[in-house]
C-alpha cells in the first residue's frame, strides 16, 4: 500500500428491511469518516437492506424501497466517496450490488459475480450473476469492488486486476462460525498472491435470526500481511491509511468469540424483535446456568426473569444453586413448584395408564408442565422464553417436545455439551458467577430418582465426537468408527440423530456457531430409510 489516502470501514449492525435506519447509519459513518480525513467509506454487503433478506428479495416493493433509500442517501453525502451495498432490480433481473456514491450521485454500480448457494446461502434463488468489473480512480489510486463470495473464487478478482485495480474493496456479510477468521485470511491471501493488489475487507456485525456476523473487518497489504483489524462483535468505524495501515485490535480466543456470538445473537434477536425481556427455566444445571449468564450479559439483569420449577425429584443442591445464581446475577427469580400439577396430570391419566409400567411418559409430563408455565408467563408479560437445551441433546432427542423445547429462542442450540463446560469456565474466568458444583456434578434432567444423563446416553465426549463427525463433517458410520470410536457407540448415536429429525423441525430458532448447525444449513428428510452404512 502507498500514498497516504485514508479508507474508512463502516462496520455496522444493519436491520433487515429497515432501509431508512440503515441509510442513516451509513450517513453517520460517512460524516465521521470525512471528519477523520478519509476519502472513501466502505460498507458491508447489502448494507441498505440488511442481510440476509431471504424471500423478501422476491418482492419488487423491497427493491423499490431500497432504491429510494439509496437515492436519498446519495443526495445527502458530501465531501467523501462511499461504496454501499444494496439489492437492485433492472429489466426484470435482480442483483446483489454495490454502488459508488460520489459528489451526491450514484456514479457506478457493480453486480456481484459469484453467488454462493451452499450452507446458509441461497443467493441463486434470488439473484443473477454480474459480469463486468467496476474500477474507479481516487487520488491516483485505482480501486476495484468485490462482494463477499467474489473473493472465494478467482474470476472476479482477476477481472478487477485486469481492469487496473490496485486496491480491492470487498463488501461482506460473512456469518460467524468457529475459526472463520482464519479461513477469511487464507482466502484473502490467495487472491492477493494471484493479483498483487492490497485488500480492504468490510464485514457486517450483528445478529439476524440464527446467524451472527462478527465484524472483525481487516486490511491486508500486497504481501498478505494484516495491516489493520477492527474489533469483533461490535460496531465501529475503522480507518486504514494506504502505506501505513491502521489499528490492529487483538483477536478473540475460541471461547471468547463463541460467548460474544451468543451474547450478540440474544441481544439482537430480543432487541430487533422488540421483546421487553426474556424468561428461562433455571434448573441448577450447567445448561440453564450458562443460558442465564448469556442472557444477563447481553440484556442486563432487569430484562431477565429466571423461574425454578421444582418437582419431587429436584435435589436440594439444585434449589440452592439456582437461588445463589439468581442472587449473584441480580435477576428476578420465581419458584413455582410443579408437584401438585404433575400429580393431577397423573391422576387424570390413571385409567389410561393402568397396567402399564412407569417410563419416560411420566418424566415428559413434568417437562411439559414446566413448558406450559413458562409459556403462560411469556404470554402474560410479553417476554420471550429462552430454551436451554444444547446441540448434543438436540442431536439425539434428549429433550421433550412441548416441554423443555417450548420457547422462542434456543441460545445453546449449536453448542455441544463439552463446549458448554468450556464456555461456563470461560465466563467464570471473567467473574465467578456459576457455582463450582454446577460445573462438577454429573448432568441430570432430574425427572426420576437418581437420574443421570449417562444412564441413557454415551459419555458426552463420545456423543459429541460422533455428532461432529457425522453431522458437521458428513462422514459415514464406518468413517466415524475409523476415528477410534467404538462402532456400536457410533451406530447408536447416528441412529438417534436420524430418528429425532421430527423433533428438531419443531424446535425454536437458535444461534449458529459451527460450520453446520441444526437450522437452515441442515436439510435432512424426516421420512427416510437410508442407513448410510457405506
**Three cell numbers written together for 173:** 456479510
Instruction: Return phi, psi of residue 299, to 5°.
Output: -115, -25
> Would residue 131 be called left, alpha or beta, if left means φ above 0 and alpha means ψ between -120 and 50 degrees?
alpha
- In angstroms, what CA-CA distances link 241 with 35, 139, 213? 14, 13, 25
Instruction: Return phi, psi of residue 313, to 5°.
Output: -100, 0
Among 201, 213, 148, 147, residue whose Cα is nearest residue 177: 213
Q: Which of 14, 148, 252, 263 is catalytic?
A: 148
Residues 31, 41: contact at Cβ < 8 Å? no
Strand 226-229 relative to strand 278-281: parallel, antiparallel, unpaired?
unpaired
Bridge partners, residue 172, by sequence: 203
Q: Which of 112, 413, 417, 498 is catalytic?
A: 112
Residues 460, 392: contact at Cβ < 8 Å? yes
How many Cβ atoms are within 10 Å of 509's Cβ, its own excluded?
15
**Three cell numbers written together for 309:** 420449577
What is the separation, in whole angstroms, between the first and last Cα of the chain? 52
Helix, strand or coil for residue 97? strand
Residue 441 is classified by DSSP as S
Residues 285, 293: contact at Cβ < 8 Å? no
Q: What is the dihedral of CA 344, 347, 352, 356, to 10 degrees?
A: 110
Strand 81-90 relative to strand 93-102: parallel, antiparallel, unpaired?
antiparallel
In the residue annotation, 112 being an active-site residue is answered as: yes
Distance in angstroms (rounded) separating the CA atoms of residues 33 and 55: 33
Q: Is the peptide bond before 52 cis (omega within 30 degrees of 0)?
A: yes
Q: Which of 6, 14, 45, 417 is catalytic?
A: 45
Long-range contacts for 181-190 (Cβ within 8 Å, ≥24 apart)? 181/214, 181/216, 181/232, 181/251, 184/216, 184/218, 185/218, 185/220, 185/226, 187/151, 187/152, 188/151, 188/218, 188/220, 188/224, 189/220, 189/224
**Three cell numbers written together for 394:** 438436540
In the residue annotation, 193 being an active-site residue is answered as: no
**Three cell numbers written together for 182:** 482464519
Place of cell 441413557: 456
Distance in angstroms (rounded) separating the CA atoms of residues 310 and 337: 5
Strands (E), 309-381: 332-335
In the residue annotation, 479 being an active-site residue is answered as: no
Distance in angstroms (rounded) separating the CA atoms of residues 395 and 489: 14
Residues 299, 275: contact at Cβ < 8 Å? no
Residue numbers annotated as active site: 45, 112, 148
Amino acid at each position: 500500500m502507498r500514498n497516504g489516502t485514508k479508507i474508512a470501514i463502516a462496520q455496522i449492525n444493519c436491520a433487515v428491511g429497515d432501509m431508512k435506519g440503515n441509510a442513516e447509519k451509513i450517513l453517520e459513518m460517512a460524516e465521521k469518516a470525512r471528519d477523520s480525513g478519509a476519502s472513501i467509506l466502505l460498507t458491508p454487503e447489502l448494507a441498505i437492506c440488511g442481510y440476509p433478506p431471504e424471500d423478501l428479495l422476491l418482492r419488487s416493493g423491497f427493491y423499490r424501497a431500497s432504491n429510494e433509500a439509496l437515492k436519498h442517501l446519495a443526495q445527502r453525502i458530501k465531501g467523501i466517496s462511499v461504496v454501499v451495498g444494496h439489492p437492485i432490480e433492472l429489466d426484470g433481473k435482480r442483483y446483489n450490488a454495490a454502488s459508488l456514491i460520489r459528489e451526491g450521485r450514484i456514479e457506478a454500480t457493480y453486480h456481484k459475480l459469484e453467488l454462493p448457494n451452499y450452507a446458509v446461502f441461497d443467493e441463486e434463488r434470488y439473484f443473477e450473476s454480474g459480469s463486468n468489473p467496476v474500477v474507479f480512480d481516487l487520488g491516483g489510486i485505482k480501486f476495484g469492488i468485490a462482494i463477499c463470495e467474489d473473493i472465494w473464487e478467482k474470476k472476479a478478482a482477476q477481472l478487477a486486476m485486469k481492469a487496473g485495480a490496485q486496491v480491492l474493496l470487498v463488501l461482506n456479510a460473512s456469518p460467524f462460525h468457529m475459526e472463520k477468521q482464519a479461513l477469511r485470511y487464507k482466502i484473502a491471501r490467495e487472491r492477493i498472491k494471484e493479483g498483487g493488489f492490497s485488500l480492504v475487507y468490510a464485514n457486517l456485525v450483528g445478529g439476524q435470526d440464527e446467524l451472527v456476523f462478527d465484524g472483525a473487518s481487516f486490511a491486508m497489504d500486497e504481501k498478505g500481511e494484516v495491516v489493520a483489524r477492527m474489533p469483533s462483535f461490535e460496531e465501529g468505524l475503522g480507518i486504514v491509511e494506504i502505506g501505513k495501515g491502521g489499528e490492529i485490535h487483538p483477536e478473540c480466543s475460541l471461547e471468547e468469540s463463541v460467548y460474544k456470538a451468543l451474547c450478540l445473537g440474544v441481544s439482537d434477536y430480543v432487541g430487533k424483535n422488540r421483546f421487553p425481556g426474556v424468561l428461562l427455566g433455571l434448573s441448577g444445571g450447567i445448561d440453564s446456568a450458562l443460558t442465564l449468564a448469556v442472557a444477563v450479559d447481553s440484556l442486563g439483569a432487569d430484562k431477565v426473569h429466571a423461574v425454578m420449577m421444582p418437582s419431587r425429584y429436584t435435589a436440594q443442591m439444585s434449589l440452592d444453586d439456582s437461588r445463589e445464581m439468581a442472587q449473584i446475577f441480580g435477576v428476578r427469580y420465581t419458584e413455582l413448584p410443579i408437584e401438585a400439577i404433575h400429580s393431577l396430570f397423573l391422576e387424570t391419566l390413571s385409567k389410561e395408564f393402568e397396567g402399564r409400567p412407569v417410563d419416560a411418559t411420566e418424566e415428559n409430563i413434568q417437562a411439559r408442565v414446566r413448558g406450559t408455565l413458562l409459556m403462560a408467563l411469556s404470554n402474560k408479560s410479553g417476554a420471550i422464553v429462552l430454551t436451554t437445551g444444547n446441540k448434543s441433546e438436540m442431536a439425539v432427542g434428549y429433550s421433550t417436545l412441548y416441554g423443555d423445547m417450548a420457547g422462542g429462542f434456543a441460545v445453546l442450540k449449536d453448542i455441544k455439551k463439552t463446549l458448554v463446560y468450556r464456555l461456563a469456565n470461560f465466563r467464570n474466568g471473567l467473574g465467578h458467577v456459576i457455582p463450582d458444583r454446577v460445573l462438577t456434578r454429573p448432568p441430570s434432567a432430574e425427572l426420576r430418582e437418581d437420574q443421570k444423563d449417562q444412564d441413557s446416553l454415551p459419555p458426552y465426549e463420545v456423543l459429541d465426537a460422533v455428532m461432529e463427525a457425522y453431522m458437521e463433517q458428513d462422514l459415514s458410520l464406518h468413517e466415524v468408527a475409523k476415528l477410534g470410536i467404538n462402532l456400536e457407540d457410533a451406530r447408536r448415536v447416528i441412529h438417534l440423530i436420524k430418528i429425532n429429525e421430527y423433533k428438531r423441525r419443531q424446535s425454536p430458532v437458535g444461534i449458529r456457531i459451527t460450520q453446520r448447525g441444526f437450522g437452515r444449513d441442515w436439510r435432512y428428510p424426516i421420512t427416510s430409510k437410508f442407513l448410510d452404512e457405506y
